[in-house]
Each structure stands twice: as C-alpha cells, then as structure tokens.
C-alpha cells in the first residue's frame, strides 16, 4: 500500500493507531526521512535490532499526518546513512544504537558514546544476540569529550551525577560567564540497567511487569503502550470496558503527575505554599488509587489483553467526589499562581523554547505543546476510548516556564473532564481477555500519549509469544536536548526551575 508523498510500499500493521511498516534500502531511508521532514512530520524513535540471519537492522519511526510510518533498513557492513542532519533528535538515538549494537550512522558529525559509561568494553555490544545476558566487565575509567567553550571570564560548573537533593543522576556541564549560561551540555546514561536485554528473556505476558517499570512515574503509559504492542502483534481484541478503564487510569496518572509538578514548580521558585497544597491533592489521589486499584502509582493494573482491576458503582462515586474536590482546589490554586507577581516573574520568559526551535529540533509531548507543537495522540490518532471523548488539546505559544505551567493546568482540567466522561459512559462487560498466540516474527507497536509525551513500544515476537526484541521509547529522548537550548542566556540559578518545567525521565532514557 502506498502513502501520499512516498514512493515506498508500506504494510499496514494491525494496531489501535494507524501504523505502517516498510523495508527500505539505504537510499529510500534518507529520502523517506527527508520527505517526512518536508511535510511537517518528525522522528518519533530510532532503534536497532539483531535479526540473527539477516544481520543487524535499524528502525526509524516517523510521525506523519496520517499516522506512524516505521522504516526498517538492513545495516549492511554494520552501518546506515545518518539522519541526524534531517532530524537533530536522531543524534543521541544513533549514538545509543552504536553503543548497544555496534551499528554506525555513516557521516554523522557526533560519534561520541552515549549510553556506555565504560561498564562494558568499547568493542562489545550488549544487545547483540551473542552477548551473554549475565556477562560482567570490570569498570574502566570513563572519558567523555565535552565541548569546551573558551574566552575571557568563561568557566565551567560541573553538576551531578550526585546532587544535593534526592533526585535521579544526570551530569550537567555549564559553561558560564558570571551567572549567564553560555552553553549547557548534558551527559546521561548513569541509570542504564539493561532493560531491553532483560525483555528478551521474557514472554509477552511476563514483560508487562517490566514495561511498567521502565520509568516509574509513567507506569500506566508504558504498561498501556506495551499491552497495545502485544495486542497488535497477536491481533487480540481488548474488551471495551478494559479499554475505557485504561483511559481512566492514564488520565489519573496524568493528573497526579501534573499536580506534583505544579507544586514543585512553585517550590522551586521559593513558594513552599504551592508545594504543600498540591502535595495534599496528589497524596489524596494516590491514596484513592491504592484503595481502588491496590497500587498508589497504578503499577500492574494494565496487562496484555485488558486490565486487572474493575471498579464498582460505589468506586465510581468516590472518584466523582474526588474529581469535584480536585477541580475546585485547582481552580483556586491557579488563581493564586496567576496573581502571584513574584511567581509569575520567575515563570515568564524563563527557559524559552521558541516554536521554530521546537519544530526544528522535534520537541514533543507536554513541553512541545507549550512551544506551539500541536501533537497529542489522544486528539490526532485517538484510540478507544478517546475516539468518542473529543479531547481538547492544550497548547501555548510562548514556550517558557509559564507556558509549561499553563499547559499543565489546562491538561489537569481536561483530564478531570475526561475521567468524568469515562465514568459516565463506562461500558459493561469483561475487563480482560487472554492474549492470543502471535505468529513468529510478528511486529507489534504501541503508541500512547503519556503525561510527559508519547511513549512508543516496538515489539518483535519470537517463537511461542517470546519477546525477540522490544524497544521502549520515552519522549525524554527528544526533549532532553531542548533543555540545552532552553537554558542558553538564562542565569544559572534558574536552571532547576527550567529543568523541572520539563521534568524529563532519566530512567526512560537511560534504559
């Protein structure tokens, strides 16, 4: 089948979102990427795979107006044409693909390592099939060539990976003059745990638990994307009630995370009152989660084929009462935030990513919508239950911290409405169905709008529903590099606030 603007043959993959797969050659690989770029599309993910008999392959998932186009290229001589010139977001993904598979992007300007921190030798590639899962290597000393900024009065501040507070590890190298930031360079990968390798020892049902732990704060998003991928590979149809409950869980996760972030954004600007109020709201939500779904963060509630917890009429009333309370408080808190001159002074103009920069570099998800990038899977490619809920997308154009705060406020309000609609119209029936047997080598794909942005899970099935290869993709891959842009010309003490306004995942990126 052909898609408009492309001269490549695509096969439609059965999935809840419109997805096509095409095998391409090196020339088509670059041309297709270029055409997508020309028509306003963007790169969603890039990952490698070891296809044993055919050698190593590289995949690229591209968002196009009609859905998701996945390109598959055989990496002859363990290399493939670079696409980071077309999509700057590909840079780190290509470097990670080299660290894990040893497939090189030819002519890419940046060939430094990305996920490898001298925990395994340079010439060994952990995601190749011949690499034993339990191998250990002595840690070597690590060297990474940061870009040096020179000039009179310029100096560097290295921050992390160990921080003064209890946060995830990441290294930030600031080149500053006085308090002004000339350049920030990130070094991530400290949380590399080998999740992708671990998946390859599991079958489709076992993998759900691990998928829900790729990035803890997005457990529902990941679990749903994973379930969607397994269901797409095995052509399992989920009962409607399960699909609607998944929607409820995902929106509750979005609300909880947005509330937490709004509190911390106030706190990072020195307004502890904001944190206290939003923490109460979030905590109440988590306690209700525990009471109704047996887990505060809703882990393991979504499984391939459905969900594990149903809600009764009485539970629905509890949720409804809570929605009313949260809505009332959030409206009042928004007034306080909007009218607090000191807070607005910190928020406005800080960490600005202009829409043009966002479009060029592929900013996505919540941060993207705050910079005028109108992408929201729930609106553009709505699967059940979103197809009948008429989701309103929250966008802002100023691209600063204030914009990201406003998008969060808008999305909380919209998610509260969605939860109400779901409770009103929740269909009756089963909440799970057994997963069917997927054909060997079946390709499955899950694409879900998590609270941070779009989570993609690409799955290749082996024999008897075993996982042959699974790649979980976090929106943080695209958005981390944008923080380096957002901070330019801001002052050093504003960095924590700007960083928080993006609130990206370390674990989801480091894998």
Partner 1 sequence: MNTLVSGILFQVLQSVLMVLLAPLLLGWVNQCRAWLQNKKGAGIFQPYRTLRKLFNKDAILANNATVFFQRMPYVLFACMWLAVGIVPVLATGLPFSPAADVIALVGIFALARVFQALAAMDIGTAFGGLGARREMLIGFLAEPAMLMTLFTASLISQSTSLVTIVDNFAHHPFAIYPSMAFAAAAFVMVMLAENARIPIDNPVTHLELTMIHEAMILEYSARHLALIEWATSLKLTTYICIGIAIFLPFGIAKAGDWMALPLAIVALLAKLAAAGAGLALLEMVSAKIRIFRAPEFLSTAFLLATLGMLTHFLLEV
**What residues make contact with partner 1 under the rule CB under 8 A?**
156-159, 163-166, 179, 266, 268-273, 275-277, 280, 340, 342-343, 345-346, 491-496
Show the DSSP H helices in 53-121 as ranges.
Answer: 90-101
Identity of the residue, 233 or 401, whose beta carbon is nearer to partner 1 in the bound complex = 401
Minimum Å gap between C-beta 301 and partner 1 is 30
d(CA 466, CA 484): 40
In whole angstroms, how close is the CB of 198 to partner 1 at the nearest point? 32
Q: Minimum Å distance from CB 409 to partner 1?
A: 17
Q: How many CA atoms lie within 13 A of 440 on its CB side?
A: 4
**φ, ψ at 71 (rounded to 5°):** -100, 140
Q: Which is nearer to partner 1, 3 or 269 (CB)?
A: 269
Q: Chain-centre distance of CA 140, in angstroms?
A: 31
- Give the shortest CB-339-to-partner 1 separation in angstroms: 12
As a 3-state breakdown, the chain gives helix, strand, coil percent values, each rounded to 5, of 45, 20, 40
For residues 436-468, one letter each, b for 16 or more C-beta atoms within 10 angstroms of the residue's C-beta and e for the rest, the string is bebeeebbbbbbbbbbbbbbbbbbbbbeebbbb
Write down the least CB distance from residue 169 to partner 1, Å: 14
Our CB check for partner 1 shows the closer of 135 and 166 to be 166
Shorter beta-carbon distance to partner 1: residue 350 or 363: 350
Q: What is the 3-state secondary structure (H, E, C) of 406-443?
A: HHHHHHHHHHHHHHHHHHHHCCCCCCECCCCCCCCCCE
- Residue with smaller CB distance to partner 1, 163 or 193: 163
Query: Which residues 6+ apart lie within 8 Å of 419 measured at CB?
Result: 248, 251, 252, 255, 319, 323
* Number of residues written out for the chain: 511
- What three-state secondary structure class fits 129? coil
Cβ atoms 410, 385 nearer than 8 A: no
Q: Closest approach of Cβ 162 to partner 1, in Å? A: 10
Residue (34 or 146) nearer to partner 1, CB: 146
Q: Minimum CB separation from partner 1 for residue 329, in Å?
A: 12
Please report how close the Cβ of residue 274 comes to partner 1 at its closest, in angstroms: 9
Q: How many CB atoms lie within 10 A of CB 5?
A: 14
Least spacing, CB of residue 478 vs partner 1, in Å: 24
Q: Which is nearer to partner 1, 91 or 267 (CB)?
A: 267
Please identify, using beta-carbon distances, which residue of 29 and 495 lies nearer to partner 1. 495
Cβ 470 to partner 1, closest distance in Å? 36
**From CA 37, how far away is CA 353, in angstroms rounded?**
20
- CB nearer to partner 1: pick between 254 and 346: 346
For the chain, the maximum distance between any two Cα atoms, rounded to a whole number of angstroms, is 70
Burial of 53 (0-12, 13-18, 19+ CB in 10 A): exposed
Residue among 6 and 495 whose Cβ is closer to partner 1:
495
């Amino acid at each position: 089948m052909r898609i408009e603007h492309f001269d490549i043959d695509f096969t439609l993959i059965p999935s809840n979102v419109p997805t096509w797969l095409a095998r391409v050659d090196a020339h088509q690989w670059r041309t297709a990427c270029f055409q997508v770029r020309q028509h306003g599309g963007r790169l969603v993910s890039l990952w490698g795979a070891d296809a044993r008999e055919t050698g190593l392959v590289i995949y690229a998932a591209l968002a196009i107006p009609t859905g998701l186009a996945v390109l598959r290229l055989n990496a002859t001589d363990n290399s493939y044409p670079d696409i980071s010139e077309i999509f700057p977001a590909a840079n780190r993904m290509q470097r990670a693909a080299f660290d894990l598979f040893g497939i090189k992007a030819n002519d890419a300007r940046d060939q430094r390592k990305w996920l490898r921190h001298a925990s395994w030798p340079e010439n060994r590639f952990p995601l190749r099939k011949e690499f034993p899962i339990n191998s250990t290597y002595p840690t070597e000393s690590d060297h990474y060539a940061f870009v040096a900024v020179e000039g009179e009065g310029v100096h560097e501040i290295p921050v992390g990976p160990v921080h003064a507070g209890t946060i995830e590890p990441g290294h930030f190298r600031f080149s500053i003059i006085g308090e002004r930031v000339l350049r920030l360079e990130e070094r991530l990968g400290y949380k590399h745990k080998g999740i992708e390798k671990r998946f390859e020892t599991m079958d489709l049902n076992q993998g759900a638990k691990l998928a829900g732990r790729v990035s803890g704060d997005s457990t529902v998003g990941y679990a749903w994307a994973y379930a969607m991928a397994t269901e797409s590979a095995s052509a399992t149809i989920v009962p409607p009630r399960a699909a609607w409950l998944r929607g409820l869980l995902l929106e509750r996760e979005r609300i909880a995370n947005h509330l937490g972030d709004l509190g911390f954004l106030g706190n990072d600007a020195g307004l502890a009152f904001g944190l206290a109020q939003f923490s109460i709201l979030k905590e109440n939500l988590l306690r209700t989660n525990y009471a109704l779904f047996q887990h505060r963060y809703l882990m393991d509630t979504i499984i391939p084929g459905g969900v594990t917890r149903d809600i009764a009429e009485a539970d629905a009333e509890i949720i409804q009462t809570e929605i009313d309370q949260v809505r009332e408080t959030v409206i009042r808190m928004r007034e306080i935030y909007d009218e607090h001159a000191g807070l607005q002074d910190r928020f406005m103009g800080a960490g600005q990513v202009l829409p043009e920069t966002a479009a060029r570099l592929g900013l996505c998800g919540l941060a993207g919508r705050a910079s005028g990038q109108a992408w929201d899977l729930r609106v553009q490619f709505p699967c059940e239950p979103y197809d009948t809920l008429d989701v309103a997308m929250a966008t802002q154009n100023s691209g600063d911290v204030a914009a990201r705060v406003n998008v969060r406020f808008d999305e909380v309000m919209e998610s509260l409405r969605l939860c109400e609609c779901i409770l009103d119209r929740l269909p009756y029936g089963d909440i799970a169905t057994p997963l069917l047997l997927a054909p060997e080598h079946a390709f499955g794909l899950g694409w879900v709008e998590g609270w941070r942005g779009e989570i993609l899970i690409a799955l290749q099935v082996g024999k008897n529903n075993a996982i042959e290869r699974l790649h979980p993709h976090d929106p943080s891959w695209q958005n981390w590099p944008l923080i380096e842009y957002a901070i330019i010309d801001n002052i050093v003490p504003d960095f924590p606030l700007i960083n928080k306004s993006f609130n990206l995942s370390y674990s989801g990126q480091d894998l």
